[in-house]
Structure 1
Amino acid sequence: MVTQMSKKDQQQQQESTNSKSFWLEPTHWAHIKWPDRSIYNIYDFPSCEIDIDFNQPELSQATLTTITEQVEQECSVGAYFNIKGTGEGVVWTEWTQSQGDLTFKVKGRQHLISQDKVLVPVRVTRVANMKEFFNYACTENRMRQALDYMREQKVSIEATNANIFLRWLTEDIIKEEKDVMNASGIDVRSISSSIHNRAHPWFIKSVIHHRQVHRRKQNSSCK
């Protein structure tokens, strides 16, 4: 006999599951790996530790920048597999107090998706107006990320899918730049049309470029 759970029962079950969930200290799972199945442990690769005083984050700014620049020059994970190439950045996780809940990422300059003047800003960026905000937030790197998302989701790069591109881009800007928007007095409801005006022409150019590349590949395969 199949019985249906009420929403209340489902909620109680979920709460019970959550109450039993916990994070393991990294040292407790450092041995878990299965290289034969291409499953590796993060501790197989070089890692760094740093003490950050969040009351004076500027004291750690230079160290975080140096480490990020080193990774961007050569990805340590790639080097492990004898592959040379740039790294995107470094993900930092705090364990002592937050048990892994506090994380942040520092990206190298080649991979920045916003126009910060420094790699590791310690104060919330403020912009003067909407135009300055979009120069800061709606960057080419971020739009490329939207294209990457479409490829990951097996969505073709076609003009008919512009809404998917614009939706991801808008949601990402709101999620990642909410602190900048709040500090600068920019209303979330007012940005959609501005994103469309800036990003839609860029997307159409990308569609045209994608078609040209596809045609060249087809022509070369026919020879």
Structure 2
Amino acid sequence: MKFHWLIIFIIANEIDPNYTFIDRLKSLKYSVENLANSLKNVKPLNLIMKTLSSNLTSRLQRIPRSHTLSLLEGSNGKWTNENITAIVKLLHNDSLHWSKDEVIQLLELISQSHTLELLNLFPEILNDCFRSDLTDTKEKKISECCVVWFNNFIDKLNLSNESDLIFSMFQRLELVHPLLSQRINIWQNLSDIAIERTKNCQENQIFDAINKMMLKNYS
């Protein structure tokens, strides 16, 4: 299923001036495979929304947002690089006006994924969450998502070499540190997970990982 329904807007004002068909579009289903193709029409979708009233625009914006959330709810299928790129474009499409609650829902769904490519998107969405004011309840939810994400990320690394695993864990912590420097509790929780996982490794594996990190920092 693709966004062929955009053609309807050309004649909608004549045959359906109240645009009641918009609400029916919510029932359309999109597979991961068709997501990238659907995005080819995001630009004309943006142009269409500029011609509609604020109420109609709001109704239309909800459709791609709800489909994106639905796709992520079943996110443990096969995700190609094209699919990942498509998801990123949707998440960064300013004209869709993602709400705070929806962004946190995105964060939660991605944190629960068992697909490494999606888990790698988590810091990017986390950054979007922190750009706005958050209530204590939302802060707690984000903290829980971070713990779930990091545990799933470690599990999906699936590295037989423990020194590589240690290196990857702390490299990921280094990546998210700028986002969490003002949120010590979250940072401490993630650090504790990495430290606890490292305790199971042999000393030579730990030293090997430290050497890799030093080489990376000085390269």
TM-score by length of 2: 0.36
More helix by share: 2
TM-score by length of 1: 0.35
More strand by share: 1
Question: Over alpha carbons, which structure has the higher Rg?
Answer: 1
